[in-house]
Amino acid sequence: MKMNGRFRSHHDTQAAVSKALENKQGKSGGPPNRTLPRESSSTEMKAAMANSLQFTDLLAMIPEDHPRGLYLHLPYCDRICSFCNMRREQSTGENLHAYARHLNTVFSSISHTPYVRSRPFDVLYFGGGTPSVLSNHDTSQLYPLIRKSLELAPGHEWTVESTLHNLTDEKLRIFSDCGVNRLSIGIQSFTDNGRKMLGRSGDGAWARRKFETIRGRFDGTVAIDLIYSWPGQSQEHLERDIQYIRELDIDSISFYSLMIHPGSTLSNDIDSGRLLFEKTDEYDRQMHNRFYESMLAQGYELLELTKIVKPGRDSYRYIDIRYQNCDLLPLGNGAGGRVMGHRVYHMDAERTMISPPKQEADRYNLLIGLLQFGNYHAEKIASILSGLSFEFIENILSEYESAGLLSRSDDDGARRLSPDGVFWGNNLAVDLIERVIEAQD
């Protein structure tokens, strides 16, 4: 297995698997695989845009009775983080207000379609950018309209991503009144140095006070993002973040090694020599394992490769919707998802790419999902694949076990990822899937 050059997120895994499938189809002379929009080539984009099926055609259909979600994208931030190269723009009062009006129109126009009216939504996820950056006034217009435009299923999950400073008391009240029950806050670090290096607002003490205020005023799940291995981070900084998480008793934490994305402020500073920063996978592994093992000792458990939760306090159903190939209605500029099995990506307000369902890509998406949650069960893996034996999978898992990445559980016959296995989890998934694809050639 390739152990240098770590894949740090499920996006890396999906990109590597898409590439392996494209290579396979290239070898067999078959049509190129239609990848997710973020990895699409311009030829694929043109082909998808030439698809005669329109978004409105899909919304005229009635879906089967499966769980489904809605993803709303808001591509603006009022403060740009030093590590970020995502698709977002600096907000101004005008562009935000105009976008809020656009979203009001979008929800008004979809609310009467057969697709939206046919059954309730189990999961809503608002991402960005910073979806909570809208003004109190625009929030007070948009969220009640959303609530009227669609039905929420019993036990629904509705997440809004946010920064700390964008969460006003007024917005928290509107969120709660309308059914938002999960916040995902990009804290990244509770230390002064970390917040400054990563371009976050306020110092560590302010961040901790603000978090406590939000926690006291919002009844739902409050999840955070945390970054480790940032330039200048010492062991002591990491220990302080571990201590603050314990004191604040946080429900759920997504933890990432800092990625230096081309085009970000940090990347530019490193390239120009203004910032000296180099790290190895071994350094990353030590920081990861120290954090992960401390969290396990505090009673957290692994939910997926980069997420730990206090038992019963965050089910994160959104990730199931994505990996189970359920429909995820995308709305807003830059939103991608799936409608009636078709991949849909809104490039902007005028242009939408639609790609037809791809059975093989969906099967591998299911497999990527299965491998994200920390349990490797040979029978379950083999059941997703056609033409490959249980023994073939079992041999690969035994190899990972010998390398100390998996350990066998007495309870259910599954193998569990060790701390090193969690660290290398995306590489394991890519390695296993590449070997499966090769064996099926």
Binding ligand SF4 (rule: CB under 6 A), the pick from 35, 139, 163, 325 is 163
In the complex with ligand SF4, which residue's Cβ is closer, 254 or 427? 254
Smallest separation, CB 128 to ligand SF4 (Å): 6
In the complex with ligand SF4, which residue's Cβ is closer, 81 or 367? 81
In the complex with ligand SF4, which residue's Cβ is closer, 226 or 396? 226
Smallest separation, CB 131 to ligand SF4 (Å): 10
Binding ligand SF4 (rule: CB under 6 A), the pick from 13, 33, 91, 130 is 130
Site string for ligand SF4, 215-254 (x = CB under 6 A): ----------------------------------------
Smallest separation, CB 78 to ligand SF4 (Å): 9
Q: Name, in order, each residue with C-beta under 8 angstroms of 47's C-beta and a sequence gap of 6 or more.
A: none
b/e string for 86-97 if b means 16 or more Cβ within 10 A? Answer: bebeebeeeebe
Binding ligand SF4 (rule: CB under 6 A), the pick from 20, 48, 70, 81 is 81
Size, binding site for ligand SF4 by CB under 6 A: 11
Q: Does 73 participate in binding ligand SF4 (rule CB under 6 A)? A: no
Smallest separation, CB 3 to ligand SF4 (Å): 29
Q: Does 127 participate in binding ligand SF4 (rule CB under 6 A)? A: no
Distance in angstroms (rounded) separating the CA atoms of residues 18 and 389: 23
In the complex with ligand SF4, which residue's Cβ is closer, 203 or 225? 225
Binding ligand SF4 (rule: CB under 6 A), the pick from 86, 388, 403, 437 is 86
Residue written as token pair 């604040």: 248
Binding ligand SF4 (rule: CB under 6 A), the pick from 17, 74, 84, 167 is 84
In the complex with ligand SF4, which residue's Cβ is closer, 99 or 121? 99
Tokens of 84: 């970020």
Q: Does 198 participate in binding ligand SF4 (rule CB under 6 A)? A: no
Count other C-beta atoms under 10 Å from residue 44's C-beta: 18
Q: Does 88 participate in binding ligand SF4 (rule CB under 6 A)? A: yes
| Contact set for ligand SF4, span 173-192 (CB under 6 A) | 186
CA distances from 268 to 85, 91, 189, 290, 291 (A): 11, 22, 22, 29, 28
Residue 39 backbone dihedrals phi, psi, to 5 degrees:
-110, 10
Smallest separation, CB 325 to ligand SF4 (Å): 26
Residue 185 backbone dihedrals phi, psi, to 5 degrees:
-105, 125
Q: Which stretch binds ligand SF4 (CB under 6 A): 56-64, 81-89, 227-235, 391-399?
A: 81-89
In the complex with ligand SF4, which residue's Cβ is closer, 222 or 378? 222
CA 236 and chain centroid, separation: 29
Q: Does 131 participate in binding ligand SF4 (rule CB under 6 A)? A: no
- Chain positions contacting ligand SF4, by CB under 6 A: 77, 80-81, 84, 86, 88, 128-130, 163, 186
